Amino acid sequence: MEIREPYGCFLTSSATDEMTHGHFKFLLKEYGPVISFLIIQILFYTWFGAYFS
């Protein structure tokens, strides 16, 4: 990954190294559960409203 100094863009951060090296797998493992849980909740609330109305 290109390092774009001196602008201080997030890409320069060493803290994101794990992201830049882990690529898609890292993103999926780290952030997938949050997004999956959101989708499950939207489905649950849709069912909840339909069931009790």
Partner 1 sequence: MSIVDWLVLLFTFAIVIGYGVYKSRGQRDLNSFFLSNQSMPWYLVLFAIMGTQASAITFLSAPGQAYTDGLRFVQYYFGLPLAMVVIAAFFLPAYRSSGFYTAYEYLEHRFDRKTRLLTSFLFLLQRGLSTGISIYAPSLILSALMGWDIAITNLCMGGLLILYAVSGGSKAITYTQTQQLLIIFSGMGIAGYLAVEGLPESWSFSDALHISGATGKLNAITTGINSDGFNWKDKYNLFSGIIGGFFLALSYFGTDQSQVGRYLTASSLKESRRSLLMNGFVKIPMQFLILLIGALLLTLHSSQNPPIHFNTALLEKAQKSTVGAELGELEVRHEAWAAKRTEKAELLTTYLNSGKTIPQELKDELRISNDSVESCRKAAQSLMASGVPGSDVNDTNYIFLHFVINTLPEGLVGLLIAVIFLAAWGSIAAALNSLASTCMVDWHMPLRSKARSAERELMLSRLYTLAWGVFSIAVAFLAGQLGSLIEAVNILGSLFYGTILGIFCVALFMPFIRGNAVFIAALITEFAVIFVFLSDSISFLWLNVIGCFGVLLGASLLHLLKQKKAPADARA
Structure tokens at 29: 């493992």
Q: Where are the alpha helices (DSSP H) in the chain?
A: 17-52
Binding of residue 1 to partner 1 (CB under 8 A) = no
For partner 1, which residue of 1, 9, 22, 29 counts as binding (CB under 8 A)?
9
Binding of residue 37 to partner 1 (CB under 8 A) = yes
Q: Is 9 in contact with 17 (CB distance < 8 Å)?
A: no
Q: How many residues does the chain have?
A: 53
Segment 14-33, which members bind partner 1 (CB under 8 A)?
14-16, 19, 27, 30-31, 33
For partner 1, which residue of 21, 24, 25, 49 counts as binding (CB under 8 A)?
49
